[in-house]
Amino acid sequence: MSSLLSTGSQSFRKVLLIEYPRKGIWTVCFQTSAAATEIQAQLDKEAIMVFVPTTPNPTSGFVMAVAVEDTRELDMDIETALKLIMSLGIAANTDSPGVDSSKTTP
């Protein structure tokens, strides 16, 4: 895990959102690479490989090929995204512009 998260590592390139496990439900994931040539050859769209970690243990999860157009890049660093995942969403930064924290509290 430390080699994946080290400062010089390129294992996790970007923090993304994808609609998973269905449309309308958004999941934080990490871009790991471009889709393998053999995978890309089978798809009609440009795809990337992503890792969707499980909560609260981000060392397990799912690897998926996802169309680039079906992703949304976040302006979030890897460490912050991992804190969000490991804290079960409790460590979410609700002070971000556009987030009304009064609507996120039951």
Report the residue count for the chain. 106
**Is residue 15 a contact partner of residue 22, using CB atoms and an 8 Å limit?**
no
pLDDT in tens, the chain (106 residues): 555 555 555 578 899 999 999 999 999 999 999 999 999 999 989 999 999 999 888 889 999 999 999 999 999 998 899 899 999 888 876 555 545 545 554 4
Tell me, what amino acid is at 65?
A
Domains and CATH numbers, the chain: 2-92 (2.30.30)
Q: What is the pLDDT of residue 20?
A: 96
DSSP label of 77: -
CB-based contacts of 35: which residues, under 8 Å, 6+ apart?
A: 43, 46, 47, 48, 49, 65
Distance spanning both ends of the chain, measured CA to CA: 35
